Each structure stands twice: as structure tokens, then as C-alpha cells.
């Protein structure tokens, strides 16, 4: 996690987010046994399109993560504004304030709802 001040004087906190991989059996809810039926009906696949819930690269990724964010992103937070940049630039932690400000300008505005809205991850020892 880093803090920097952009040329306009706004203080930003930036941190990296990596979505959790889904661990455990990958079983769909509808594949379970049906109650009250002597024998389950065969499941007929009717979808015509590719599976849309899979992320890019190796999966399976956490449900609800957009494909473009599956490999992680940087979150820039100024308190009243939040931005997201994907993919994560290599060695971003070592960049200077001017370089971080340029990445922040290139980042996409993000909503402040959901689990990420709680703020940056806690540091060890805090």
C-alpha cells in the first residue's frame, strides 16, 4: 500500500487487489438430487453461448469478478473518489509519485459499493 499526492494536491492511497480463487469442489446448485423424484431427469444443456462466469487466464476465479479484473487491479482511493486500474503494472510499489499519478489518471472511476468500499487492507502490526 502506498500514499502519494497528485499535482492537484489530492492525497491518494493505492493498493493492489487480487481476487480469491474459488477453492473446493465446483458443483452447480442445480446438479444436486431432486427431492421427491424417483430418478432425476437428465440435465439438457440449452445454452448456446460460452460460459460467461469464467475469468481470463487460469481459473476458477471468485464469482462476480469481471473478466478484465480476474488477474487483479490497483485501487486508488482519495476518500471522495475511487479508481481502478487493471492489469496491475509490474513493480508498481517502486514507482515515483509522478508515475503513480499518471496511472491514477489512466484508471477507471469505480463505484464505492461492495466489500472493497471498506478501504485498504489492514497492515500487519496496526
What digits encode the pLDDT tens for the residues 103-112? 999 999 987 5
84 membership: H or E segment, kind and range: strand 82-85
Task: Answer whether residue 58 shows pLDDT above 70.
Answer: no
Q: Is 73 exposed, middle or buried (0-12, 13-18, 19+ CB in 10 A)?
A: buried
Q: Which pLDDT does position 51 carry in this prediction?
A: 59
CA dihedral of 50, 55, 60, 62, whole degrees rounded to 10: -120
Task: Answer whether residue 1 shows pLDDT above 70.
Answer: yes
Rounded mean pLDDT of the chain? Answer: 77
Grid coordinates belonging to 113: 459499493
DSSP 98: H
> Does the predicted TM-score (pTM) go above 0.85?
no
For β-strands 82-85 and 73-77, DSSP reports them as antiparallel
> Which pLDDT tens digit goes with each residue over 61-114?
556 677 778 889 999 999 999 999 999 999 999 999 999 999 999 999 987 555
**Angle in degrees, CA 4, 9, 13, rounded to 5:** 30
Backbone CA torsion sign across 1, 117, 119, 70: negative
Amino acid at each position: 500500500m502506498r500514499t502519494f499526492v497528485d499535482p492537484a494536491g489530492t492525497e491518494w492511497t493505492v493498493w493492489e487487489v487480487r481476487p480469491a480463487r474459488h477453492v473446493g469442489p465446483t458443483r452447480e446448485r442445480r446438479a444436486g438430487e431432486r427431492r421427491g423424484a424417483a430418478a432425476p431427469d437428465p440435465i439438457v444443456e440449452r445454452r448456446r453461448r460460452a460460459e460467461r462466469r469464467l475469468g481470463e487466464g487460469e481459473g476458477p476465479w471468485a464469482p462476480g469478478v469481471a473478466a478484465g479484473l480476474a488477474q487483479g487491479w490497483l485501487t486508488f482511493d482519495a476518500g471522495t473518489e475511487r479508481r481502478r486500474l487493471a492489469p496491475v503494472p509490474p513493480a508498481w510499489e517502486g514507482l515515483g509519485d509522478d508515475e503513480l499519478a499518471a496511472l491514477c489518471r489512466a484508471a477507471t472511476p469505480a463505484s464505492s459499493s461492495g466489500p472493497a468500499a471498506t478501504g485498504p487492507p489492514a497492515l500487519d502490526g496496526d
